[in-house]
Amino acid sequence: MKVTIYTDGAARGNPEGPGGFGTILVFVDSKGQEHIRELSGGYKKTTNNRMELMAAIAGLEALTKPCEVELYSDSQYLVKAFNEHWLEGWIKKGWKRGKNEPVKNVDLWKRLLEAMKPHKVNFIWVKGHAGHPQNERCDVLATSAADGDELMDDVIL
């Protein structure tokens, strides 16, 4: 089963202001019918990078069976971590990077890796705020969630 996931994260007053994520899942069934599901959530105090990761996590955790996934994000932090194999290096070094500095957001990286396990995921970067319809919609979902009244606590911040 092939699924396309579009994601975006947003944070007001980054780092550590209110933030949100937006995710769109698109699936075409065997009859050619397109199914679209939108997800979003907001947090009281978070960062943009955490919300970019949460957008991907939310999309993958919403899948109920193994899928081939094309995941589109405007976050180079997210996409390069996989496509340029940053994650492999961080894991080999015990979640350290560069000059033996700790990797940020380890809790979400681990959750994302767990969410990916049943799926084959291809990460694709799209330029943000460049008119890509699904990316623009994800941005609206993320910023609306960040500006919402029912914000959750980000357990790390």
Asked if 122 contacts 71 with a C-beta cutoff of 8 angstroms, the reply is yes
Q: Is 139 marked within a binding site?
A: yes
Known catalytic residue: 74? yes
The one catalytic residue among 19, 41, 42, 52: 52
Known catalytic residue: 8? yes
The one catalytic residue among 35, 129, 147, 153: 129
CA distance 48 to 42: 12
- Amino acid 43 reads Y
Q: Is 8 marked within a binding site?
A: yes
Q: Is 101 marked within a binding site?
A: no
Q: Is 52 marked within a binding site?
A: yes
C-alpha separations of 110 from 40, 48, 56, 105 in Å: 20, 18, 12, 9
The one catalytic residue among 9, 20, 22, 42: 9
Known catalytic residue: 139? yes
The sign of the CA dihedral 105, 116, 86, 97 is positive
Known catalytic residue: 129? yes
Annotated binding site: 8, 52, 74, 139
Residues annotated within the binding site for Mg(2+) are 8, 52, 74, 139
Catalytic (active-site) positions? 8-9, 52, 74, 129, 139
